[in-house]
Chain A
Amino acid sequence: MKIIVPVKRVVDYNVKVRVKSDGSGIETAGVKMSMNPFDEIAVEEAVRLKEKGVATEIIAVSMGVPQCAETIRTALAMGADRGILVESDADLQPLAVAKLLKAIVDQEQPRIVILGKQAIDDDMSATGQMLAALLGWSQGTFASKLAVEGDTLTVTREVDGGLETVALTLPSIVTTDLRLNEPRYASLPNIMKARKKPIANMKPADLGVDVTPRLTVIKVSEPPKRKAGQKVASVAELVNKLRTEAKVI
């Protein structure tokens, strides 16, 4: 079966992001960009399914500026077979992304789409669920384990109180949680090989999707800052202050 893995280009998770002084957004100029960490986990899981003989082909899809091709190359170097880049300079929000992905799924006919559970830039945690809805597919979100058997995908999910296991009828959407796997580093030979793998280019109009944003960002502000408080010298002083000053115990 084919597997599609959408990958998003985001500000690298090690970068300390700064709010722009005019409040229009987050400073991204000259900042290191990388694949969204949860999407790396998604690519890794797809590659493992291919290594197990469950998947036959892995297609990495990215959307946005032309540099998203680099994010696709990273996925190709990890083991994806080919890429699709949907080029757009619009602010692509989850609904638009889900519609674009649906159009690609309609063309490619995968049985599983594996996505990261959230992107670390907008923190929406929505695209996978939305794609499942548009396709009328089952969904296994926040997955920490998955197993394919015939037409059934068993997904262990991270939920608030622990773990929940669901059995899904394929085709399905999976979104990855942190502990599904540890993504591999691409080896140099694989990075070289990835350069030769094909990436198809298209535009939202080619897929017949209107990507007009539904949410307008009015402003982005700094979160309220906490001030460092005081150092206490002993446990006794700490307990005393918590009782008499903070009055929380």
Chain B
Amino acid sequence: MTSLVLLESDAGGIKQPSRSAVAAASALGEVHVLVAGVDLGAASAAAAKLPGVAKVLVADNPALDHLLAEPTAALLVGLAPAYSHLLAATTAVGKNVMPRVAALLDLQPISDIAAVEDADTFVRPIYAGNGMATVKSSDTKKIITVRAASFDPVAAEGGNAPVENLNVGDMPGLSKFVSAELSKSERPELTAARVVISGGRGMQNGENFKLIEPIADKLGAAVGASRAAVDAGFVPNEFQVGQTGKIVAPELYVAVGISGAIQHLAGMKDSKVIVAINKDEEAPIFQVADYGLVADLFTALPELAAELERS
């Protein structure tokens, strides 16, 4: 039984959610990985170093740049006969590509798994994580996306897998990449950060998010936000932590001025340690927080920055 994992990479190597997908695949047997796109030298070298990977497949073709769904799915369908399981992380790419692969193969995908029970049986959240469903697939092959927060990623180094270049044929030209507006930040990515500090409606405006920055700098944290803060236009969409935003599970999650709506909790309740700072002591966020501070954030945040600076 061999699995194939679709990897995503950036300048820093193989992205952490993809390394979590490799960890999930490792629970199923032998693991091959696929890197696709253009200029894949660094990505394939990084993939070869992932512990537990037996082979790296490289698909270098301009049509695969940006991993658009139509060509990437066609590529995976071509590779599928050799594999029992095809996996990707539950990222914008994984969610876009994998169901397309599944339908082309007449299979029902298994989205966002949080645990592997056996080769056919998986646990996945439903109803925004308010239930954990154990599902068994009767399909001959499984198409899976992996909830990165539920699997410790494999290390970035330690392996030495052989690399095989694929001959990629014609790709469907149904879609074209036009442009990307990616937020530029010196901070770690939300889904990969060891510490996340998020602001909510209580921040009152986007300008006040500056109060969070010195703390994030000090802790090496990513900055997130609740849906309320995003809807109010304080920060861009990609900051959103929650059921419909990013799912995070850092070592430390600090929620500032966030009441704790179910939809937000769904995105962060697997964090190891949760801190809540809110002036409303009845706020539901305190019911999940390991440490709660009832305080006005406009005094607490500068104090926190100073306290961290002091030591």
> For B91, what are the chain A residues with a Cβ–Cβ distance below 8 Å?
160
Binds B, one of A69-77, A105-113, A199-207, A231-239: A231-239
How far in angstroms is the closest Cβ of chain B from A146?
12
Stretch of B23-31, B37-45, B206-214, B283-291 with 4 or more beta carbons under 8 angstroms from chain A: B283-291
Contact with A along B83-115 (1 / 0, CB 8 A): 000000001110111111111101111111000
Whole-angstrom distance between the alpha carbons of A249 and B300 in the complex?
A: 17
Q: Give which listed residue, A11, A161, A213, A234, contacts B238 with CB less than 8 A.
A: A161
Query: If the complex has contacts A158-B92, A167-B175, are A230 and B290 also in contact, measured as CB distance less than 8 A?
Result: yes
> Which B residues lie within 8 Å of A246 (CB)?
252, 273, 290-291
> Is B119 positioned at the interface, with any CB of A under 8 Å from its CB?
no
Query: How many positions in chain B have a CB within 8 Å of any CB in the partner chain?
Result: 91
Bound complex: CA A232 to CA B275 (Å): 10
- Tell yes or no: A220 within 8 A of B by CB: yes
Main secondary structure of the interface of A (DSSP, over half): mixed
Are A167 and B178 in touch, CB under 8 angstroms?
yes
Contact B92 A220 (CB under 8 A): no
Check: B308 CB closer than 8 A to any chain A CB.
Answer: yes
Contacts of A121 in B (CB 8 A): 126-127
- Contact B104–A133 (Cβ < 8 Å): yes
Which of A47-55, A81-89, A135-143, A184-192 lines the interface with chain B?
A135-143
Quick check: is B121 within 8 A (CB to CB) of the other chain? yes
Contact assessment for A248 and B273 in the assembled complex, using a CB-CB cutoff below 8 Å: yes
B189 close to A (CB within 8 Å): yes
Given A123-B111, A231-B294: A217 and B135 interface contact (C-beta under 8 Å): yes
* Contact status B135-A218, CB under 8 Å: yes
Which interface residue of B107, B121, B176 has the most chain A CB atoms within 10 A? B176
B204 contacts chain A at the CB level, 8 A cutoff:
no
Q: Mark A98-135, 1 if CB is under 8 A from B, else 0.
A: 10000000000000000000101111111111111110
List residues of chain A with CB within 8 A of the CB of B246. 160
State whether the Cβ of A163 lies closer than 8 Å to any Cβ in chain B. Answer: yes
A167-B178, A235-B300 known; A160 and B189 CB under 8 Å?
yes
The answer to whether A216 touches B135 (Cβ under 8 A) is yes
Label chain B's interface by main secondary structure.
mixed
CB pair B290–A223 under 8 Å, yes or no, is no
Contact flags A156-168 to B (C-beta < 8 A → 1, else 0): 0111111111111
A196 interface contact, C-beta 8 A = no
Q: A21 in the interface, Cβ–Cβ < 8 Å?
A: no
Say yes or no: is A242 at the interface (Cβ < 8 Å to chain B).
yes
Kindly identify which residue among A161, A230, A249 contacts B183, using a CB–CB cutoff of 8 Å: A161
Contact between B291 and A218, CB atoms less than 8 A apart: no
In the complex, whether B262 has a CB less than 8 A from a CB of chain A is yes
Flag if B70 contacts A160 (CB, 8 Å). no
B residues sitting closer than 8 Å to A (CB atoms) are 66, 68-70, 73, 91-93, 95-104, 106-112, 121, 124-139, 172-183, 189, 191, 195, 219, 227, 231, 236-238, 243-244, 246, 251-252, 262, 269, 272-275, 281, 286-295, 300, 303-304, 307-308, 311
Closest 4 CB pairs of A and B: A130-B103, A229-B290, A133-B103, A214-B108
Given contacts A160-B238, A235-B304, list 18 more A-B pairs with CB under 8 A: A26-B127, A94-B109, A95-B102, A95-B108, A120-B243, A125-B111, A129-B69, A132-B103, A138-B70, A160-B92, A162-B180, A169-B174, A221-B131, A222-B132, A223-B129, A232-B291, A235-B300, A235-B307
Query: What are 21 A-B interface contacts by the 8 Å CB criterion?
Result: A118-B244, A122-B126, A123-B111, A123-B126, A129-B97, A129-B98, A129-B100, A131-B103, A139-B69, A139-B96, A140-B175, A159-B182, A162-B237, A165-B177, A165-B180, A167-B175, A178-B244, A215-B137, A228-B287, A228-B289, A246-B290
